[in-house]
Amino acid sequence: MEHSKVIVGLGSCGIAAGGNKVYQKIQSLKDSDNLGFVLEKTSCIGMCYREPLVEVVDDMGSWLYGDVDEKRAIEIISQHLVNKSPVKEYLVKSDLFETPDDQFFKGQVKIALRDCGYINPESIEEYEARNGYQALKKIAGEKVTQESVIQSILDSGLRGRGGGGFSTGLKWRFARNSQSDSKYVICNADEGDPGAFMDRSLLEGDPHAVIEGMIICAYAIGANGGVIYCRAEYPLAIHRLNIALDQARKKGYLGQDIAGISGFNLDISVKEGAGAFVCGEETALMASIEGKRGMPAKRPPFPAVRGLWGKPTNINNVETYANVPWIISNGAEKYASYGTEKSKGTKVFALTGKIVRGGLVEVPMGMTIRDIIYKLGGGIKDNKRFKAVQLGGPSGGCIPEHLIDTPIDYDSVTATGAIMGSGGMVVMDETTCMVDMARFFLDFTQKESCGKCTFCRIGTKRMLEILTRICEGNGQEGDIESLEELAYQIKDSSLCGLGQTAPNPVLTTLRYFRDEYEAHIRDKKCPARNCKQLLTYEIIPENCNGCTVCAKNCSVDAISGNRKEVHTIDQSRCIKCGICYTKCKFEAILVY
């Protein structure tokens, strides 16, 4: 037992699931029974659907336990650590035999997420033990030139992982070629879609990878100042970032003459944002850092020429920077061996929605949507039919079932009307109303509009009003045409990416699910039986035995009938709450 380790996953997902209580219980068992194992913390390994996770590493191998509560923790310590008998029924991954959850990892290639779940994110020594800061040391030791570093990033094919997919190396070259007495590197960790969970998990699980990537970028472009712009709603990420930055300073990775490179001086600070979605746009982000209201500015000039405080600036997101040290250490050719001709490397996705195995996955570009959902994600919950996937966050698009074999690469995804974005992947099943889904996402982007552009500020509001009417059963002929006209005007007339992409959920659902809009407007029916105001509840006489349960639970007394007699529903009084449907045990309520 003296050489055994117990590691508890304490990323935000693990903590939310009760990981801290599990950690405290194991700590108390260790202390009270004077057990000799080492207790450590780590972050999310991506298997969020199995949190809290506890790993035991002993002379037999590695054993990962899932859905661990305090009771299971006692059992695992007593049976596995004391009696040397792993508790197989709780295992989700093991070195010695396969489990059903192994499929979650098969097909994944972890580059950006390479250390997440494998190190204590608050220990720079553990990061260094897994080749951390070796890329920076390689640049210093081999006297690699700035242009050579940029050329490696270009040769790797790395494209920005935050949205548009612009060439990272080209972006760096633009900033390097700008002449100035000072330059900046910024990490955008403020994206507000489901993919932001990926950013947060990376910062919580491997902050030094992001910091090292920023340092290498700063060296390549000649920057001497750095900022990580992180939303304040991520307190654990900010806490671990600040610890990592202090450690990097003490080790000489930040400060003066970094890594022995004469004249290379850099420090990085954390700027806490207020969680405005528009600040994911680079000019709005820089305005926020400068203490101004986060609103986008016209481009050109681009940040590489005139950015933060009027100086040349490079901005990449969390995942982009995390890839950089791996590329420098392993070579551009190795990175480019993953993916497709125009989309190299890997991509991290936050897999969520009506999916069996939800969490963080990192896959080679080119893997199909089908393989991600059915192989890694385990398919649709409750054996329901796959209907669509929302890709690219609130301003992404919905990709339908018949395009499920679309490969995940920038060009293929864009061709569907969706966007890669920062990696949100929301899976929907047959019970999802696509009109309501479009309304839901547009409601978010409309609220997050900074208001600078008239078409974005007012146009999205008009679109939201139309969608709300349609979902409430008050849709009118001409609504579909009005939505399309407004959508294209907003896309063409908005200044920044928020307005330019906000109509995407509406346009893609109109493109692939127009029949659902028509059913809502013309037939006043919701095919997915999701929009409450469009539902009708009736009692099936032959199934009703007069048990009175439905009547007793109806809050508006819309159901009448004597005991052991067939009941009826007064449609004029029914508020369509659905409680009768959920309470009936005899399938006597028909919903249509």
Whether 119 maps to a domain, the answer reads no
Q: What is the pLDDT of residue 192?
A: 55
Whether 115 maps to a domain, the answer reads no
Whether 17 maps to a domain, the answer reads yes
Task: Please state, in angstroms and rounded to a whole number, the distance separating the CA atoms of residues 582 and 554.
Answer: 11
Model-level pTM? 0.94
H or E element, residue 187 = strand 184-189
Model confidence at 423, in pLDDT bands (50, 70, 90)?
A: confident
Closest CA to 121 of 18, 241, 14: 241
Give the start-end residues of each E strand in 23-136: 38-42, 54-58, 61-65, 91-94
CATH code (residue 579)? 3.30.70.20
Q: How many domains does the chain have?
A: 5
Whether 86 maps to a domain, the answer reads yes
Whether 225 maps to a domain, the answer reads yes
Residue 7 backbone phi and psi in degrees, to 5: -120, 125
Whether 116 maps to a domain, the answer reads no
Both tokens assigned to 462: 């008009």
Residues 335-345: what's their mean pLDDT? 97
Q: Are residues 474 and 395 in the same domain?
A: no
**pLDDT surpasses 90 at 199:** no
Q: What is the pLDDT of residue 535?
A: 94
Residue 268 backbone class (left: φ over 0; alpha: ψ -120 to 50; beta: rest): beta
Q: Are residues 218 and 318 in the same domain?
A: yes
Model confidence at 196, in pLDDT bands (50, 70, 90)?
A: low
Task: Please state, in angstroms and rounded to a whole number, the distance separating the CA atoms of residues 435 and 530.
Answer: 10
Q: Which residues of 299-317 are buried (b: 16+ CB within 10 A; e: fewer)?
A: eeebbbbbbbeebbbbbbb
Residues 10-28: what's their mean pLDDT? 97
Q: Which domain holds residue 577?
A: 536-591
Q: Are residues 156 and 303 in the same domain?
A: yes
Q: Are residues 130 and 255 in the same domain?
A: yes
Q: Are residues 309 and 212 in the same domain?
A: yes
Q: Give me the torsion for CA of 474, 476, 482, 487, rounded to 10°.
A: 40
Is residue 65 classed as helix, strand or coil in its secondary structure? strand
Instruction: Examine the fold and report which residue of 300, 335, 370 is the final residue of a domain before the chain moves on.
Output: 335
CATH code (residue 389)? 3.10.20.600
Tens-place pLDDT, residues 458-470: 999 999 999 999 9
Q: What is the pLDDT of residue 191?
A: 63
Task: Please state, in angstroms and rounded to a whole number, the distance separating the CA atoms of residues 208 and 133.
Answer: 8
Q: What is the pLDDT of residue 4?
A: 92
Residues 521-531: what's their mean pLDDT? 95
Give me the numbers of helices (H) and strands (E) for the chain, helices first please. 24, 18
Task: Please state, in angstroms and rounded to a whole number, the distance separating the CA atoms of residues 65 and 437.
Answer: 35
Tens-place pLDDT, residues 247-274: 999 999 999 999 999 999 999 999 999 8
Q: Are residues 441 and 424 in the same domain?
A: no
CATH code (residue 299)? 3.40.50.11540
Could you check whether the bond before residue 301 is cis, i.e. omega within 30 degrees of 0?
A: yes
Both tokens assigned to 350: 């936050």
Comparison of pLDDT for 162 and 404, the residue scoring more: 404
Whether the CB-CB separation of 205 and 117 falls below 8 Å is answered with yes
Whether the CB-CB separation of 528 and 535 falls below 8 Å is answered with no
- How deeply is 328 buried, as exposed, middle or buried, from its count of CB atoms within 10 A (0-12, 13-18, 19+)? buried
Model confidence at 2, in pLDDT bands (50, 70, 90)?
A: low
Q: How many Cβ atoms from other residues are within 10 Å of residue 565's Cβ?
A: 12
- Type of residue at 484: E
Q: How many Cβ atoms from other residues are within 10 Å of residue 433's Cβ?
A: 24
Residues 6+ apart with CB under 8 A from 469: 475, 476, 479
**pLDDT surpasses 80 at 389:** yes
Q: Are residues 395 and 281 in the same domain?
A: no
H or E element, residue 361 = strand 359-364
Q: How many Cβ atoms from other residues are within 10 Å of residue 552's Cβ?
A: 10
Q: What is the pLDDT of residue 452?
A: 93
Residues 6+ apart with CB under 8 A from 352: 194, 197, 358, 424, 425, 426, 427
Tens-place pLDDT, residues 98-140: 899 999 999 999 999 999 999 999 999 999 999 999 999 999 9
Instruction: Provide the CA 559 distance to its chain's centre, in angstroms.
Output: 45
SS (H, E, C) 392-440: CCCCCEEEEHHHCCCECCHHHHHHHCCCCCCCEEEEEECCCCHHHHHHH
Residues 36-61: what's their mean pLDDT? 94
Whether the CB-CB separation of 488 and 499 falls below 8 Å is answered with no
Residue 492 backbone phi and psi in degrees, to 5: -80, -20
Is residue 315 classed as helix, strand or coil in its secondary structure? strand
Q: What is the pLDDT of residue 197?
A: 75
Q: Are residues 402 and 515 in the same domain?
A: no
H or E element, residue 334 = helix 332-336
Helix 318-330 / helix 134-141 crossing angle, nearest 10 deg:
50
Residues 6+ apart with CB under 8 A from 539: 550, 559, 566, 567, 568, 569, 588, 589, 590
Whether 340 maps to a domain, the answer reads no
Nearest-5° Cα angle at 386, 380 to 389: 100
Instruction: Examine the fold and report which residue of 335, 355, 385 is the final residue of a domain before the chain moves on.
Output: 335
- How deeply is 214 buried, as exposed, middle or buried, from its count of CB atoms within 10 A (0-12, 13-18, 19+)? buried
Q: Are residues 419 and 453 in the same domain?
A: no
Whether the CB-CB separation of 12 and 201 falls below 8 Å is answered with yes
Q: Are residues 177 and 305 in the same domain?
A: yes
Residue 339 backbone phi and psi in degrees, to 5: 95, -160
Instruction: Examine the fold and report which residue of 275, 305, 335 is the final residue of a domain before the chain moves on.
Output: 335
Q: What is the mean pLDDT of the chain?
A: 95
- Type of residue at 240: R
Q: Are residues 263 and 412 in the same domain?
A: no
Tens-place pLDDT, residues 208-256: 999 999 999 999 999 999 999 998 989 999 999 999 999 999 999 999 9
Closest CA to 55 of 95, 8, 19: 8
Both tokens assigned to 54: 């506890």
Could you check whether the bond before residue 300 is cis, i.e. omega within 30 degrees of 0?
A: yes
Task: Give the HSE-up count for residue 262: Cα atoms under 13 Å, Cβ half-sphere.
Answer: 1
Q: Give me the torsion for CA of 376, 382, 386, 392, rounded to 10°.
A: -60
Closest CA to 215 of 325, 73, 67: 325
Tens-place pLDDT, residues 363-383: 999 999 999 999 999 999 999
Residue with token string 């001086």? 265
Both tokens assigned to 166: 């612009």
Q: Are residues 168 and 316 in the same domain?
A: yes
Task: Please state, in angstroms and rounded to a whole number, the distance separating the CA atoms of residues 390 and 422.
Answer: 12
Whether 108 maps to a domain, the answer reads no
Residue percentage of the chain with pLDDT more than 90: 91
**pLDDT surpasses 70 at 44:** yes
CATH code (residue 38)? 3.40.30.10
